[in-house]
Amino acid sequence: MTKNRFSFILIMVGAFLSILNQTLMTTALPSVMRAFSITTAQGQWLNNGYLLVNALMIPTTAYLIKRFTTRQLYMTAAGLFMVGTLIGAIAPLYPILIVGRMVQALGAGILIPLVNVVVMTSTRPSERGEAMGIVGLALNLAPVMGPTVSGVILMHLSWRYLFWLTLPLMLVDILFAVKFIDNVGELHKEKLNLEGLILSALGLTAAL
């Protein structure tokens, strides 16, 4: 296995964990509502807030990929995801739990498009079909597995373990990434379309 391929696997694992986390909390929503004595409408922001920030970060990553190296971007995204996971695990109040989920989403919104960019720039044309198939399988399997994995965990443990069990997995991935992540592509100085980002944020928030 080449270093480039191992780099791709590490980034794909990070993206897999971030997508898995989107649906882990869906099954845990009743438990979270009981723990914090909140309504269903309030509880839905556990998922809606995550999806909102995620949706904003995915197009923004197109700009970030051109301004920062693959290693810098991955370590930042994975670090944000870990910080958000830790906040969620220890959150004493529901608003803090929402903040944790949104911080998670900041990292997840970078990881998902980053894995596709790495595949397209670090593999030979003859290997791209296979690589994209593996990525598609992993990233489509994650949201399907989420509710089932969550249900099994919740049968025996608190909903907080949905965060605590994700944390060491991402930590191991980051430790390997420090040594093995390769930089791909070229950097360009481009201006962020801040007006478009703000309008997108307002539009998506209004839609939700």
Retrieve residue 104's tokens. 């998670």
CATH number for the 3-207 domain, one of 1.20.1050.10, 3.40.50.970, 3.30.70.20, 1.20.1250.20?
1.20.1250.20
Instruction: Give residue-wise pLDDT tens across range 73-129.
Output: 899 999 999 999 999 999 999 999 999 999 999 998 888 888 888 777 777 777 778
Q: What is the per-residue pLDDT for 159?
A: 93
Query: What are the boundaries of each domain within the chain?
Result: 3-207
> 192 and 63 in contact (C-beta within 8 Å)?
yes
Give me the half-sphere count of Cα atoms (radius 13 Å) on the Cβ side of residue 104: 33
Given a contact cutoff of 8 angstroms between Cβ atoms, the answer to whether 136 and 120 are in contact is no
Alpha-carbon separation of residue 126 from 110, 117, 130 (angstroms): 26, 16, 8
**25 CB-side CA count, 13 A:** 30
Q: How does residue 1 score in pLDDT terms, banded at 50, 70 and 90?
A: very low
| pLDDT tens per residue across span 9-31 | 888 888 888 888 888 888 889 99
User: pTM of this prediction?
Assistant: 0.85
